[in-house]
Structure 1
Amino acid sequence: MISRRFFLSTALATLASGPAWANAPSYTPRPKARGASPYVAGAEGLETILGKAGLSGEVVCAVANANTGEALESVAGDKGLPPASVGKVLTALYALDTLGAGFRFQTRLLATGPLQGGVLKGDLVLAGGGDPTLTTDHLAELAAQMKGAGIQSVAGKLLVWEGMLPYVQSIDPDQPEQVGYSPAVSGIALNFNRVHFEWKRAGGAWAVTMDARTEKYRPDVFTSKMAIATRDLPVYGYQDKGGVDHWTVASGALGKGGSRWLPVRNPALYAGDVFQTMARAHGVALPNPKVISSLPQGSLVAQVQSAPLPQLLRDTLKYSNNLMAEMIGMTASLARGPRPTSLKDSGQRMTAWLAETYGLRNTRMVDHSGLGEESRVTANDLVRALIASEKTGALKPLLKPIYFHDAKGRPVKTHPVKVAAKTGTLNFVSGLGGFVTAPDGTELAFAIFTADMTARSKISRAERESPRGGRSWNTRAKTLQERLLERWGQVYGS
């Protein structure tokens, strides 16, 4: 069976803080350098690094001893900036506390009538259970279980239930239509709600395919269609026509051939479409799928389940998968109360939990992935949550190692300062938060957020995939992060 990493890589308790934290110093972002050594404690060393960063916008950061909670340094630590994907750290804490480490998502196949002579006298229901890691391989397994249960045909309908979670057309509607990191969200997802678009030269024309591929299967889909338009711009166009995603692509942008993953806007029909194909491959012809809003009573025919929650969260943080974060976060909100009505509603519930559990008073999340630019997290708040997470030790093993780089951009895996953290990147927004282990073994919790909201506000929707100046700004932000981490590891760990 294909691993989740195949798809991911293609995109893919109140804090006990002492007086030192409450009175942490705050300095003006981007101060003028004064020539002090960056490897001395206090404001002078920070000023040197920040002044040389050449970074427009704002910089906020905080660092503390992860074991004692002692605040060591803070620059505008109570100033909220967009966390980008660093916000997924908060979602991981929320989900672990709410759902527990043993939680697994389940996708079920239900029958609403009896089985007589191989014929199901009722409807067959594909019931989404909020699993963000469901793949075509899993639907093939459900089809095999269905055949093994004796179902040879269905007298009723093929129904798909996505109502466990609310339907959201796009995680961030301000993103370009074609970006795979902002697909639709609902109670069922397949292949991270992405469809594979491939084009090749065929004589004087183009051969185009839209499929739900894995390494094992490559079923064509009828719920996503592509047409080639004679134009240069825009590169992509999109319309929803009766639940079918209709795409157009500019002929002038196709080159010699290629492929990319496009987002799915009708996830329930997409899953039903592919399940129908997998069932046909097992000799069971099913009617075309229909989406339902209420789950009917029925007997269990087959089911598949996800990996345990910690493994899902590790993948979410490593690959920064937005869909996984949103579905996991909304499932946690559902477990705590009524079904959330939207991503924003669920994000607000998580925000309230963060304030109650960790005392994060200056943080507000509008989703669980950090993709929405209206979310705000302060460096001090994130550090509080990180320190508190050390009581259980469940978070740090889920974070990925972050390496320093040499002058040629190569990772230095033997560097004496070790970092386990979560990155976050939007256009003209960059964040990093996690843990630093100094050469002497001292463990620090840190948060760094940088943002140029003025530059970001000038980007048109069409430019958001690759705005001018965005890459160089992000490079400078990451260089600044490395210099700060190097400084903290040396100053507070020797």
Structure 2
Amino acid sequence: MAVTRRLLGLGIGLMIVLGRIGWGESSDQSLLFYAETGNEHRVVASQGADQSFNPASVIKVATSLLALETLGPDSRYETNFVCLGQCSIENGLLQGDLVIIGDADPDFHAENAWLVARELALLGINGITGDLVIEGVFFQGWEHGVEKRQTHALRRARLMGGRFQQALDVTRWDRSLHATWDEAATRHGWAPDAKPAISLGETVQMGHGGNAALHPVVRHRSNPLALTLKRFDTFSNNDIIRVADPIGGPTAIERLLEEIAGDLPGEIKVTTASGERVNRLTARQVVKLLWAFEATCREMELDPSDILPVPGCDPGSLPRMFPRLAQGENARTAIVKSGTLTNTDGGVAVLAGFFRSLKGETVAFCVAAPRSGRRLTHFRLAEQDWLLDLMDSVGGAERRICGTGLAYSDTMADARVTRQSVADK
């Protein structure tokens, strides 16, 4: 460790002893890394900086950047709930089909469905006589990324519609939904026994078929995009692909990365917006991405920690993977995004992000362990030690003040009865 600190202190490149795998193993399994200051772009650590590797979930930084630049941090997804048919309310029953017009809200859950249910209850609706119909793209709950999502449109509509039906009818709840309700009711100040009991029938269809008039009922708006991205990045949630798909997906992300990298050497390849499967960047390219991300955040009056997690402040897997970054004197010193693959490309562990030195310099860094296989704990701890040595070499790192805590999917979401709704019929 002392050798590492002396080399860093002299400002020369790191050939870190802890970056080596072990006796008798090939040097191509060394850590790859690159770090530089933001003020003068002074290189403070570099080894294999232009060697391509699979960045795994660090790709989510690029996905978040694309979303911020395309949609804006305050943009919201709007899901409209409308009626098709006679649409009068008789004895608590809405006469017709309930149509969900989805806007691909990537972070709609039972808690959001309950916001809608409370508005339906205000209209005196406790059931519908027709079907539940899905228009556009509607999600409820998680699918867990590219590998597990349902690609058949009708099956996906029935899956998501079924979850919505279940959330609105307490008689269909399982233990998990009861627990989620208790937590949400406490946060919102709802009466614990005011659980929704709205029957939506059994049939879920796609498309309302024809040009029949649709009567507005309730509109739901999501959290602002910045909060949604923070939730995805904190939990490294692979369903961030839902954010990327409507704005160009992997192709747009790869194009953005090429623009940012300019003439830097190394392969750039993006096959998924989540970091699943095979993607390619170099450590130097990742750092260039981080600076572009930081600049966009600054222009939008955001801090990178408004989008990316801070160990010691935010939940998720980072405290478990990098315990010394989340506890003790090193807690709250770094804004990071990790990446992990166990099998693809022989496995990889990646850590990238920012910290601010006690001298006031922001340092961006990326460290990766290609072909790490199933020795993830070993390599994560090596990366953690590498980062702590890097902090020591520049005189230490500032500790950040934690924010208000990670948002829930409904923290700033809202649902409202739509003007000229069925209530006016």
TM-score (norm 1): 0.59
Asked if 1:347 is matched to 2:250, the reply is yes
User: Which residue number in structure 2 is paired with residue 376 of structure 1?
Assistant: 280
Aligned with residue 215 of structure 2, among 289, 299, 303: 299
CA shift at 1:452, angstroms? Answer: 0.9
Shift of 1:42: 5.4
1:358 positional shift:
5.2
Give the drift of 1:36.
9.5
Residue 388 of structure 2 corresponds to 486
Structure 1 vs Structure 2: percent identity of aligned residues? 21
For 1:421, which of 297, 313, 336 is the aligned residue?
336
Cα 1:51–1:117 change in 2 (3 A) is closer
Post-superposition offset of 1:421: 0.8
- Please give the residue correspondences for 1:88-167 in structure 2 after superposition, counting only pairs within 5 Å: 88-118=60-90, 120-151=94-125, 154-161=128-135, 163=137
Deviation by residue 1:324-370 (Cα, 9 ceiling, x = unmatched):
x111222333xxxxxxxxxxxx2122211232355377322212211
Aligned counterparts, 1:398-477, within 5 A: 398-402=307-311, 411-415=326-330, 418-427=333-342, 428-452=347-371, 455=373, 470=374, 473-477=375-379
8 Å Cα contact 2:83-2:97 kept in structure 1? yes
Q: Which has the higher helix share?
A: 2
> For residues 333 and 340 of structure 2, what CA distance do their matches in structure 1 show?
21
Kept in 2: contact 1:66–1:444 (CA 8 A): yes
Of 182-191 and 350-359, the range deviating more from structure 2: 182-191
Contact 1:110 1:125 in 2 (8 A): yes
Report whether the alignment pairs 1:321 with 2:230: no
Contact persistence 1:161–1:295 (CA under 8 A): no
CA contact (8 A) 1:430 1:477 kept: yes
> One-letter code of the match for 2:308?
L
Kept in 2: contact 1:128–1:161 (CA 8 A):
yes
1:389 to 278, 290, 293: 293
Task: Give the RMSD, CA atoms, in angstroms.
Answer: 4.0
1:62 maps onto 2:31 in alignment: no
Q: What is the CA deviation profile of residues 105-128 of structure 1, one whole-angstrom value per residue up to 9, with x for unaligned ones?
A: 222211123423536454211233
Compute the TM-score of the two structures, normalised by the length of structure 2. 0.68
State the shift of 1:284 in Å. 4.5
Task: Note the alpha carbon deviations across 1:145-188, whole angstroms, 9 max, x for none.
Answer: 224335465443221235379xx987343xxxxxxxx4547897
Deviation at 1:444, TM superposition (A): 0.7
3-state SS, counterpart of residue 421 of structure 1: strand
Please give the per-residue CA displacement for 1:83-138, whole angstroms capped at 9, x wherever unaligned. Answer: 12222111111111111011112222111234235364542112332223222232
Letter in 2 for 1:374: V
Q: State the shift of 1:316 in Å.
A: 1.5
Whole-Å Cα distance in 2 between the matches of residues 184 and 413 of structure 1?
43
Matches within 5 A, 1:255-274: none
How many angstroms does 1:50 deviate by? 2.2
Query: What is the match of residue 71 of structure 1?
Result: 43
- Aligned residue number for residue 205 of structure 1: none
Q: How many pairs does the alignment contain? A: 344
Aligned to 1:367: 272
Aligned equivalents of 1:123 and 1:35: distance in 2?
Answer: 67
Shift of 1:431: 0.6
Change beyond 3 A, Cα 1:211–1:390: closer
Q: Distance in 2 between matches of 1:417 and 1:129?
A: 36
Distance change (3 Å), C-alpha of 1:147 and 1:373: same
Report if the CA contact (8 A) 1:170-1:184 is conserved: no
In structure 1, stretches of 5+ residues that fail to align are 1-33, 174-181, 197-208, 219-280, 334-345, 456-469
Q: Which has the higher strand share?
A: 1
**Alpha-carbon shift at residue 80 of structure 1 (Å):** 2.0
Q: Residues 39 and 78 from structure 1, CA distance in 2 versus in 1: closer, same or farther, beyond 3 angstroms?
A: closer
Q: Which residue of 2 is the match for residue 48 of structure 1?
A: 17
CA deviations on 1:453-474 (whole Å, 9 max, x unpaired) are 7x4xxxxxxxxxxxxxx2xx21
* Contact 1:133 1:190 (8 Å CA) reproduced: no
Contact 2:356 2:362 in 1 (8 A): yes
Tell me how far apart the structure 2 counterparts of residues 80 and 286 of structure 1 sit (CA, whole Å): 52
CA distance in 1, matches of 2:97, 2:283: 52
Unaligned segments of structure 2, at least 5 residues: 167-173, 184-194, 313-317, 397-425
Letter in 1 for 2:258: A
